Amino acid sequence: MTTTASLPNGPIDTNAAWQVINSIRVLAMDAVQAAESGHPGTPMALAPVGYLLWRRHLKHAPHHPDWPDRDRFVLSCGHASMLLYSLLHLSGYDLSLDDIKNFRQWGSRTPGHPEHGHTVGVETTTGPLGQGIGNAVGMAIAERLLASQFGADLVDHRTWVVASDGDMMEGVGHEAASLAGHLQLGKLTVIYDDNHITIDGHTEITFTDNVEQRFQSYGWRVLHVNDGNSLEAIDAALADAASQSAKPTLIRLRTIIGNPAPTKQDTPEAHGAPLGRDEITKTKEILHWSQEPFHVAPEAYLEMKPIAAHGDALVAGWEKRLAAHQDANTFRSRIAGELPLGWDATLPDLSKDSLASRQASQKALEAIAKSVPALMGGSADLGGSNGTNIKIGEIFDTHTTGPRMHWGVREHGMAAALNGIAVHGGFRPYGATFLIFLDYCKPSVRLAALMKLPVTYIFTHDSIGLGEDGPTHQPIEQLSMLRAIPGMVTLRPADAAETVESWRVAMTRTNGPTALILTRQKLTAQTRNADRVGDTARGAYILVEPATPPKAIVIATGSEVQVAVKAAETLNAEGIATRVVSMPSWELFEQQDDAWRERVLPSSITARVAIEAASPFGWRRWVGDRGTVIGLDHFGASAPADTLFREFGLTPERVAAAVRALA
């Protein structure tokens, strides 16, 4: 089993330590000043704990930044990015001093906030406060579950977070911390930078929580260090946290933002703007430092140099254990994100089944869970309604470790943790809730798209079709919001067969998240050629073709496809040749070649009607200036679903009338 420390912990070399700490402070000041934007004060305050963690406690390997058994370091207060960039550079990662000099510039490897996949060694994209805490909870969940499946010889690492006052205020941090305490994620440590400063002033104007008591109530251990410059006290707290496995640990670290800037330390001015050249000059004088911009003490490089060699040794030992492990190939495949051969062979054939798409999704999910051990996830307290109460595998809880999650009523915390599970590696995570509660998940969903993470969202109760719960629960604008997110693929299947194919799409995507938009109400099984259902992956396809060349096209998604089909039956009987196009995914259709798009929606046919029980926003691109969009430009109401569809005009009769007016 590997050690949890980066290097054996002897006495702290105080002189060498301060050379590293002050180098970090200088790099933070100079980089922000050169960029004329950024946040210097927090990296300066956190330099001592950053040095001690990365030099003495963090298990990492700069030459092998993707080593699966590394400790995860999450800078939840992403505005303090220069702390992370400085530590990466000094520790020997592939991040040069020139990269730091190019902070926040076009093409830079050091953007304003850390970005996963953009800068080596950055575990997750942070900036929106609270997200990093949520991501870290997901990482700790993934570590525990992966260790239960492959053993501590291959998986035995910790997750460390640096968080700010803002992280403690944001709601997602509350949700995630509550869950972590409940699950007793003992390999998770949050270092709370208690500097009492936000942009608007001292935190006392808005934030007087007793954070220690709050975390204790969540079930966390709480340690505190009252001096952010006390190397011995910080080191002892980190060692204490690293020795624990029963509960997550919060270390409240009292720091002074901007320390030791003579006039701006402990002020809001040190938070989000350059210190100014005069202040930097005076600070360097206090530090007895060279006035040369971006000067790093040679002793700092010497002090940090052993980290890489020790990391190489850790990786070499781990690779030997992996080679001898009976499941070595499976482990490598899991970390690579590969699906087992034939994983989809047992997907059910639901082509003749009339089911709610949430029910069809459950059947597909159960089949996938049997063949894909990497699948893990669950619902935000709506498992029965979302169709995620499958019976394959144990529940992940304090005493059992399985792939089925109960997230509780924590939609945002769930979505943030899913991102952490995905970036950790080894799993294909999914989470479920009602589509209306996408509003609570949205910031994390956006970050999943930004990071290109293969997270699957199951959003059920997708329209006014949920009925009597009324407008508070009936999503109107959520589809438009999802479709506006770059890199997101949204699928709203028309029936059970399309739902199964939507799951096939979701599981094979590797470069971004997928949202499955599913109904509460039953959907009629559509008649189509057997090979046509596979065209779900193309985003749109011809579902109904008239006997003669079409003069009009009706485009629909989800539950409105059956409405479109009934309208087409009437129109074709009248001699108005009408094609029905099922369009489960705008994004996938956009990705098709010109030939497919022209085949499905010929430019010569301008008589087009689109119907969807949601906002009509964006549909004009598919129907053109001459076409008609039937949707909802208002909120819903409380009544049975059939009544709502009739009263709001989402009917075959209205579709047929719209086509007649155009054809």
**Rounded distance between C-alpha atoms, residue 649 and residue 632, angstroms:** 9
Q: Which of 411, 498, 501, 612 is catalytic?
A: 411
Tokens of 551: 């003069």
Return all residues near 634 (Cβ < 8 A) that are at least 6 apart. 476
Contact 300, 23 (CB under 8 A): yes
Of 499, 483, 510, nearest to 588 by C-alpha is: 483
H helices present in 456-600, as ranges: 478-483, 496-508, 560-573, 586-590, 594-600
Contact 171, 130 (CB under 8 A): yes
Burial class (CB in 10 A: 0-12, 13-18, 19+), 46: buried
Of 145, 20, 156, nearest to 89 by C-alpha is: 20
Output the CA torsion 412→417→418→422 (10° steps): 150
Cα–chain center distance at 134: 9
Cα–chain center distance at 243: 29
Contact 26, 294 (CB under 8 A): yes
H helices present in 14-128, as ranges: 14-35, 41-52, 81-91, 97-101
Contact 46, 193 (CB under 8 A): yes
Residue-by-residue DSSP string for 615-643:
--TTTHHHHTTT-EEE--SS---SS-HHH
Total H helices, total E strands in the chain: 25, 20
**Rounded distance between C-alpha atoms, residue 93 and residue 24, angstroms:** 15
Query: Is 411 an active-site residue?
Result: yes
Return all residues near 449 (Cβ < 8 A) that are at least 6 apart. 485, 486, 487, 488, 512, 513
**Rounded distance between C-alpha atoms, residue 232 and residue 244, angstroms:** 19
Tokens of 433: 């809730």
**Rounded distance between C-alpha atoms, residue 575 and residue 577, angstroms:** 6
SS3 (DSSP) at 469: coil
**Left (φ > 0), alpha (ψ -120 to 50) or beta: where does 143 sit?**
alpha
Is the bond preceding residue 260 a cis peptide, omega within 30 degrees?
yes
Residue-by-residue DSSP string for 106-135:
TT-SS-SS--TTTSTT--S---STTHHHHH
**Rounded distance between C-alpha atoms, residue 487 and residue 499, angstroms:** 20
H helices present in 425-485, as ranges: 438-451, 478-483
At which residue do the structure tokens 């953007």 appear?
111
Which residues are the active-site residues?
411
